[in-house]
Structure 1
Amino acid sequence: MSAMKTNGSTRKVSLFSQVKYEHMVAGISGGVTSTLILHPLDLIKIRFAVNDGRTTTAPQYGGLRSAVHTIFREEGFRGLYKGVTPNVWGSGSAWGFYFMFYNSIKTWIQGGNVTQPLGPTWHMVAAAEAGILTLVMTNPIWVVKTRLCLQYEGMPNTGSKYGGMFDGLTKIYKQEGVRGLYRGFVPGMFGVSHGALQFMTYEEMKNRYNEYRKVPINTKLGTSEYLVFAAISKLIAAAATYPYQVIRARLQDQNHSYRGTWDCIKQTWRYERMPGFYKGIVPYLVHVTPNICLVMIIYEKFTNP
């Protein structure tokens, strides 16, 4: 329970009273839909990100088109959808939890008055808190998704080869314990800044636009406006925070062995310099820009019909 001051009066607003499950349903719908359509680009981004040029088991691709052609030729259409099950589970649950946590925290900070502007700082606080809670709940799914995406044709059938999402979760827990399920968690925490920056930018653009139109900040926008704001906010966040995704993917990769986050950063810098931290950014941007547009338009239309 917290006392929030609104328009000169103080009233108590419970955080739990602000939880609205339609935000979770909207997030799940957007996450699942975008993942099913765009998963192949996500798989290619991961394979580019972990390819340090020193691992002989990893296939080499000349670019995005080369990667699609090679994977399809060697692994078939199913190869482009390796890891799709945990990705659907991960994206659906992550967006569902994120939107539910974010909107609950934001409305709680506003004292229940959704027309009250928060400003950039409070938007970032709400987004960061939502991101941390979501990461704690979904990190094991992302570990399995990454490893399934990195199972190449011709790999030996060892204990680290997984038959699917639940087989992966079981084997990782048995072989590596809880630590294995939370590999990449530290750079994932840095990744919280990605969501915070993205949502702060998105919310501020919506608010400023509505203020420019001289209407309440929660006034519904048009589809094209949601799409433009979503794309711009994602591009800004991606450009600023992408390196953490390379480090996280490499820590979760079963074909690499690092002593920890700092060791991974040092090795990447030693052998690849700055370009190493941005490997896979082209398929990533091709993937995430339409992805976030789909997620946000489904979310906005679902919660603001």
Structure 2
Amino acid sequence: MNAISRQRHADTATLPVGSDSSGTPFSLTANLLRFFSHVHYENLAAGLSGGVISTMVLHPLDLVKIRFAVSDGLTMRPQYDGMVHCMKSIWQLEGIRGLYQGVTPNIWGAGASWGLYFLFYNAIKAYTQESRQTELSAVEHLVSAAEAGILTLCLTNPVWVTKTRLVLQYNADPSSKQYKGMLDALVKIYRHEGIPGLYRGFVPGLVGTSHAALQFMTYEGLKRDCNKYKKMPSEALLTPLEYIAMAAISKIFAVAATYPYQVVRARLQDQHNSYNGIADVIMRTWRNEGFEGFYKGMVPNLVRVIPACCITFLVYENVSRLLLGQYQ
């Protein structure tokens, strides 16, 4: 492409995808180049740091949440009277190692998910904001977060399937467990179930992108309103307590609105029961357990995700600004 063509390419980058003023299909490549110009790997590193730290601290609560989410009355499952009883039972049976079953894929999954999510979200947000003086609306934040969530899920779903399978191994004897670790689980799932096995729960996971979209829309709105109240720029650095409060509020709102999809997804990924798709999970859960069945494990989930979210967002906001040279 010569200099004149490159200039025309740049000048027509905002035209509809697939054509410029003379009908030449330049715009798709131009739009991709503009998008990638907004990709900052500092956001990936910062999101990964937040996800890994929060997961290492709070994984036992995630394990408890998943065990309650799949608790559908099967006699082979351990029976727990509550969160404390569940954790005590696992501790007595398997020790600290039992409470950290599935931690490896959880660290990989949480680190990769948060890192990729913040990478995609900030790039999409900056691309949408490009050449505009006005701030993004709540709906635009919602759409940006949903798009970032879909991209992230496509890359990380096999890791979440692996994590679910590992935390649902109830036998204390390592030699009798179906999976020996993350890699072994990935290989066995692929060997016996193929690609569809690695993408079990993908459709409810897509529904779950609404969870993150609602959370980010709320979080961004709270940050903007707080800075407006303080008469500061919308992206000004806030105090740690303010970030924690906003992360907690946005997470509670998102969980309350979308939790049932997590139950459906966990049950589809569970190796101890067999469902014929999402509709079968929903009908059997409703028939056997009623409305409450869709909210099993929500309390341990909230106990886990609220501090996890606060840690992740606090680490992300500070590490990203430090890496991007915006820390003042």
> Any idea what the Cα deviations from partners look like across 1:41-86, whole Å, max 9, x if unmatched?
0000000000011x11110100011011100011111000000000
Question: Is it true that 1:21 corresponds to 2:44 in the alignment?
Answer: no
Give, as a single letter, the amino acid of the residue that structure 2 aligns with 1:27.
Answer: G
> Any idea what the Cα deviations from partners look like across 1:213-250, whole Å, max 9, x if unmatched?
22211111111100000000000000000000000000
Cα distance, 1:116 vs structure 2 = 4.0
Per the alignment, residue 257 of structure 1 pairs with 274
* Percent sequence identity over aligned pairs: 56
> Any idea what the Cα deviations from partners look like across 1:96-137, whole Å, max 9, x if unmatched?
000000000000100066x74101100001000000000000
Instruction: Determine if contact 1:27/1:92 at 8 Å carries over to the other structure.
Output: yes
Per the alignment, residue 258 of structure 2 pairs with 241
Per the alignment, residue 225 of structure 2 pairs with 208
Per the alignment, residue 175 of structure 1 pairs with 192
1:1-305, aligned counterparts within 5 Å?
2-3=13-14, 14-53=34-73, 55-111=74-130, 116-153=134-171, 161-304=178-321, 305=327
Cα distance, 1:210 vs structure 2 = 1.2
- The verdict on how the C-alpha distance between 1:300 and 1:45 changes in structure 2, with shifts beyond 3 A counting, is same
Instruction: Determine if contact 1:44/1:283 at 8 Å carries over to the other structure.
Output: yes
C-alpha distance in 1 between matches for 2:270 and 2:174: 15
Give the 4+ runs in structure 1 shifted more than 4 A. 154-158
Cα distance, 1:175 vs structure 2 = 0.1
Cα distance, 1:212 vs structure 2 = 1.8
My pick for the range that moved more, 26-35 or 12-21, is 12-21
Give, as a single letter, the amino acid of the residue that structure 1 aligns with 2:94.
Answer: E
- The verdict on how the C-alpha distance between 1:156 and 1:93 changes in structure 2, with shifts beyond 3 A counting, is closer
C-alpha distance in 1 between matches for 2:237 and 2:172: 52
Give, as a single letter, the amino acid of the residue that structure 1 aligns with 2:106.
Answer: N
Instruction: Determine if contact 1:251/1:260 at 8 Å carries over to the other structure.
Output: yes
Consecutive unaligned residues of structure 2, counting only runs of 5 or more, are 1-9, 16-30, 322-326
Using the size of structure 2 for normalisation, the TM-score is: 0.87
Number of equivalent positions: 296
For the aligned residue pairs, the C-alpha RMSD in angstroms reads 1.9
C-alpha distance in 2 between matches for 1:152 and 1:284: 20
C-alpha distance in 2 between matches for 1:233 and 1:49: 22
Instruction: Determine if contact 1:147/1:252 at 8 Å carries over to the other structure.
Output: yes
Q: Indicate the SS of the match to 2:236.
A: coil
Larger Rg: 2
My pick for the range that moved more, 133-142 or 202-211, is 202-211
Q: Indicate the SS of the match to 1:277.
A: helix
- The verdict on how the C-alpha distance between 1:22 and 1:128 changes in structure 2, with shifts beyond 3 A counting, is same
> Any idea what the Cα deviations from partners look like across 1:10-69, whole Å, max 9, x if unmatched?
xx881110000000000000000000000000000000000011x111101000110111
Give, as a single letter, the amino acid of the residue that structure 2 aligns with 1:219.
Answer: A
Per the alignment, residue 8 of structure 1 pairs with none
Instruction: Determine if contact 1:43/1:82 at 8 Å carries over to the other structure.
Output: yes
Instruction: Determine if contact 1:117/1:207 at 8 Å carries over to the other structure.
Output: no
C-alpha distance in 2 between matches for 1:147 and 1:199: 29
Instruction: Determine if contact 2:216/2:250 at 8 Å carries over to the other structure.
Output: yes
Q: Indicate the SS of the match to 1:15.
A: helix
Using the size of structure 1 for normalisation, the TM-score is: 0.93
C-alpha distance in 2 between matches for 1:293 and 1:124: 20
